[in-house]
Structure 1
Amino acid sequence: MMKGLGRLGDMAKIMKQAQEMQGKMAEMQDELARITVEGESGAGLVRATATCKGELTGLDIDPSIFDPNEKEVVEDLILAAIKDAQAKASDRSQQEMAKLTEGLNLPEGMKLPF
């Protein structure tokens, strides 16, 4: 009869761990909104800044690239810088989440948040 209580204790422990993880996940989401990364293109002529949640927060364009005949090149550089910033934001976000989930023994390839 006491064996059943042992399993309830294990379940309570698991529930407590899940609640703690939920709190840590919320904190991590807030932290990811504050961490910024910078992407660039054209050897730094165009720089884009984004949060690790993927929100674009800044764009810096060197005035030397403003040639009316090079409009398409400038557009391509801007897009490349934004994509670079977004890729870096995604990578950093995954790194931060990996720190949080260390020791959880999650199945390979499983990402959080679910």
Structure 2
Amino acid sequence: MRNMNEMIRQAQIMQRKMSEKQEQLKSMTVEAASGGGMVKVTVTGGQELVGVSIEPSVVEAGDVEMLQDLVLTAANEALKKSKELMEKELSAVTGGLNIPGMF
């Protein structure tokens, strides 16, 4: 019974730390670019898209399809970086344990 209580206590501590880390991740950002930096996208560690920057020359070119591709590419790369950041930060809390549903 004593070991069970200790395990529950440890799980509660880990859960609190995970919640704290998830809040911290919301203020951390990553950036990705495409088209040689013509399009930049910023995403938080909480997987929220918070910024898009487009060089005016891309818009002036009038190639909507190219612009859409550049935004999509940058956004997907930023989300990938954000996920990697989240996994790295949360694995520090879990001690590298792969807990289903956490990432």
Question: TM-score, normalized by length of structure 1?
Answer: 0.82
Tell me by how many angstroms 1:65 deviates.
1.1
CA contact (8 A) 1:97 1:112 kept: no
Task: Kindly report which structure 2 residues correspond to 1:1-114, keeping only aligned pairs within 5 A, or say none.
Answer: 8-66=1-59, 67-68=61-62, 70-102=63-95, 106=97, 110-111=99-100, 113=102
Tell me by how many angstroms 1:110 deviates.
3.9
Q: How many residues align?
A: 102
Provide the C-alpha distance between the structure 1 equivalents of 2:39 and 2:18, rounded to a whole number of angstroms.
33
Provide the C-alpha distance between the structure 2 equivalents of 1:91 and 1:98, rounded to a whole number of angstroms.
10
Identity %: 37
Tell me by how many angstroms 1:32 deviates.
1.3
Provide the C-alpha distance between the structure 2 equivalents of 1:9 and 1:100, rounded to a whole number of angstroms.
24
From the CA coordinates, give the structure whose radius of gyration is larger. 1
String of CA shifts for 1:10-54, please: whole Å, max 9, x gaps.
111111101101110110110111111001101111000011121
Tell me by how many angstroms 1:97 deviates.
1.1
CA RMSD of aligned residues (A): 1.6
String of CA shifts for 1:45-71, please: whole Å, max 9, x gaps.
100001112110000001111212x11
The verdict on how the C-alpha distance between 1:101 and 1:36 changes in structure 2, with shifts beyond 3 A counting, is: same
Q: Structure 1 runs of 4+ off > 6 angstroms?
A: none
Tell me by how many angstroms 1:113 deviates.
2.0
* Residue ranges of structure 1 left out of the alignment (5+ in a row): 1-7
Question: TM-score, normalized by length of structure 2?
Answer: 0.90
* Residue ranges of structure 2 left out of the alignment (5+ in a row): none
